Amino acid sequence: MTEIKTVAIIGAGQMGSGIAHVCALSGYDVLLNDVSSDRIDAGLKLIDKNLARQVSRGMVTMEQMQAALPRIKSTPELELIGHADLVIEAATENEELKKAIFKSIAPHLGEQTLLASNTSSISITRLASTTDRPERFIGLHFMNPVPLMKLVEIIRGIATDVATYETAATFAQSLGKTTANAEDFPAFIVNRVLVPMINEAIYTLYEGVGTVDAIDTAMKLGANHPMGPLELGDFIGLDTVLAIMNVLHEGLADSKYRPCPLLVKYVEAGWLGKKTGRGFYDYRGETPVPTR
């Protein structure tokens, strides 16, 4: 099995920075890459902020934070990414973008480098087929927020070999995560169950069955969910929710996975949730206010 010491992460957004955060805390050297130095810097600031919050809550010691931060290196040059033992792609949930990333890094990879995608819904087999090493390619789907959520879904493509799986599972568990194996079907396990629930909540709003507040309150108090489905959709990002619903609808050809037209309208309006300031709630004031 490949011994993993250095992990490269492509994508310094919420997911990529979260993966970098937990890798550095667990003693791995991390190379953080994105399309611009500004985006990498934003990711590094987010990591610093989230580690400081963990220190303030007693979840991490100051010594652990001070040891972790220097392990993360801003790495805008793709050729340096190839020096890593494991490369994790954590870009936007767009299949063509992900395939382009894997093609662009191919010339820079070492012979033994493992590739992983943090995709939450896209076929690992299809992504792997665009690389020169489908047997060394695997899905590592971290949950958001990565520093707090304990699960990593591990998804093998049809060509993924046993050694790659065993290395990936050992690596995820070394981060303090629990792993769950998922077959390579659209949206895997968590999002196959979770995102259609969010989509159904949006239909419930669209059809006038309940208001935003009523739907979220009902699910929090009636089903004991920590967060209502519309609030959760805003947290995930409505563009990501729509992308996953499209993958399910196209991949399984079942009308029950049809994205709600209201979800499509919100995404078209650029109201993507918390990250843009508006979704099913307006986050621009002191407290979130329903937008419908």
Domain ranges for the chain: 6-182, 192-290
Task: Give me the mean pLDDT over the 17-46 stretch.
Answer: 96
Task: Give me the mean pLDDT over the 8-14 stretch.
Answer: 95
Task: Indicate which residue of 153, 199, 231, 249 is catalytic.
Answer: 153
Give the pLDDT of residue 156. 97
Active site residue 83: no
User: How would you label 150-168 residue by residue, b for 16+ Cβ within 10 Å and e otherwise?
Assistant: eebbbbbbebbeeebbebb
Per-residue confidence at 1, pLDDT binned at 50, 70, 90?
low
Give pTM, 2 decimals.
0.90
Spatial neighbors of 109 by CB under 8 A, at least 6 apart, are: 82, 87, 115, 132, 133
Give the pLDDT of residue 128. 97
Active site residue 141: yes
What is the tens place of the pLDDT at every residue in 93-138? 899 999 999 999 999 999 999 999 999 999 999 999 999 999 999 9
What is the tens place of the pLDDT at every residue in 194-251? 999 999 999 999 999 999 999 999 999 999 999 999 999 999 999 999 999 999 999 9
Active site residue 74: no
Task: Indicate which residue of 33, 117, 191, 199 is catalytic.
Answer: 191
Per-residue confidence at 189, pLDDT binned at 50, 70, 90?
very high
Per-residue confidence at 83, pLDDT binned at 50, 70, 90?
confident
Q: What percent of the chain has pLDDT over 70?
A: 100
Give the pLDDT of residue 88. 98
Q: Does domain 6-182 have CATH number 3.40.50.720?
A: yes
Task: Indicate which residue of 33, 50, 118, 120 is catalytic.
Answer: 120
Active site residue 249: no
Task: Give me the mean pLDDT over the 179-193 stretch.
Answer: 96
Task: Indicate which residue of 17, 33, 118, 141 is catalytic.
Answer: 141
Specify the CATH superfamily of domain 192-290.
N-(1-d-carboxylethyl)-l-norvaline Dehydrogenase; domain 2 (1.10.1040.10)
Fold equal for 6-182 and 192-290:
no
Q: How many CA atoms lie within 13 A of 31 on its CB side?
A: 21
Give the pLDDT of residue 8. 97
Give the pLDDT of residue 82. 86
Give the pLDDT of residue 162. 97
